[in-house]
Chain A
Amino acid sequence: MAFVDLNKVSLTYRMGKETTLALADATFSIDKGEFIAVVGPSGCGKSTIMKLVTGLLPASSGEVRVSGAKVTGPIKGVGMAFQNPTLMPWRTTMDNILLPMEVVEPHKRRFRSNRAEYEERAMKLLKTVGLADFARRYPWQLSGGMQQRSNLCRALIHEPELLMLDEPFGALDAFTREELWGVMQALWLEKRFTGVLVTHDLREAVYLADTVYVMSKRPGRIVLTRQIDIPRPRSLATTFEPHFVDIVHELRDRISQEHA
């Protein structure tokens, strides 16, 4: 039984008389512990899918189910990294990352009395993304890429069952990005959470995902579903193997049709 299940889901944004059909008849499901990637042209409704799955937006038609239950409002305790870092400027990086601990059970109850332990945990996470020295800085004292990495830490800290990442590596240089793929994969292999990754980088999608969904331009439809049958753990060397490159080319060809 699928963990996340979308059945003919459509979404129309309304602004007074203007309407935008952002997503049309999306039907797909994600198994528990599966990591999927969604790729497609800009504005095709990828961020919209993220908001629908987490219940931040109600579907205009169709049905979203998460672990069997129909989604009617925001579902609890997901880890979500939004496309903009959305860190709170009045909190230090450390306090920003600890935010989920103040809200999500069971950490919420233990947080005040076990703060040191949680800070240690956050520190470990900051180290893996290379931000250990910036824990006491404010987000506006960090560069764009550093903010994105903090954003990623905030999504991961409470070890959510469902992790939603909206272009989390977008503003990073190629080296840091590829390093973080490795970090992400290691985390996933360890915890086996269910992951949804939105990205424009096809190599990233193939590296990290079990299944890649390609979407058409707006209104977004899923036009290709590609299983990635490359064994894990994958490494940077894997990305240069012919099979990997073939898959990337196949995806690229399909997307370039959308731009025609």
Chain B
Amino acid sequence: MAEKEEALNNLEKIEADALAVLEDVANQESLEAWRVSHLGRSSPVMGVFSSMGSMDKALRPVMGKAANEVRQALETAFEEKQQLMEAKALKKALETEQLDVTLPGRPIAHGRLHPLTQVLRRITRIFGDMGFQVYPSPEVETDDYNFTYLNMPPYHPARDMWDTFYTKTEGVLLRTHTSPGQIRVMRDRAPEPIRAILPGATMRYEQLSARSEIEFAQVEVLVIGENVTFAELKGTLEDFARRLFGEDARTRLRPSHFPFTEPSAEMDVGCFVCGGEGCPVCKETGWLEILGCGMVHPVVLEYGGYDPEKFSGFAAGMGIDRSTLMRYRIDDIRHFRNNDVRFLRQF
């Protein structure tokens, strides 16, 4: 029995010694060293297992159980110690690790849609919601489509409203507005009703300056049906303006003249720069002109293949460059086609 007593005492001592050493362990390395020397293959407790073979057969189960208990106790102590140390380390890390959050982030190389594309998309989306579909139309046009079919026969005074680039081909010019697209859609669709939107580039003979461009983007809107009214023109364009400029946008229709519409009007929107107080952008009026519109002229309906006694319609046209210019208070309209990336990246 003395042998058993002694062996058990030895085990107790092994446990006590190991725990005493563990108490003083203060870092990861010494903890790992502790694990090797007190739980590793050549550790005292493992030595007990390997010496088991030379033990009395009767003693073996008792000693096996006791040694196992010691090993488990040491393992548990190790895990607890490890957790404690990890918690300490994390606490320390959280206390000491600090970034300069004001340093710039890693730049991501990105692209953007051209500002005019962005504005055009907003416009086509709004009209799209109202059932309008987009039609393409050519930028190099015939004199007939650009003028004559729009109720401006040769030498019509209203032709002066558009300074035109002519090509060296007889009767061919660079379209001065998107309105010739009206005739193209009508001829394509007659006698069906139409809700069309025609975006595209237009060209006018101007001296290039901060305020005037030779090429610019326009959108044409066209509705044809059997009883289209001025009230519908007004309602549709007011809805459009509210959606483009915001719920509070004030609008007004002012009589104007376009040969291809009658009555003709211009739509003004309350100046979004000064809120209507008056500023240089709105020339102190509090109003900004955003589009021209009107009821489709009978002559135009006829050229488009619709009987003006039966059909009516309205049309509107707006310049995208100018309204974008005003909206973002851009100082120079030429930025849009100079494509300076420092400008484009801001949108």
Whether A associates with B in a native complex is no
Residues of B at the A interface (CB closer than 8 Å) are none
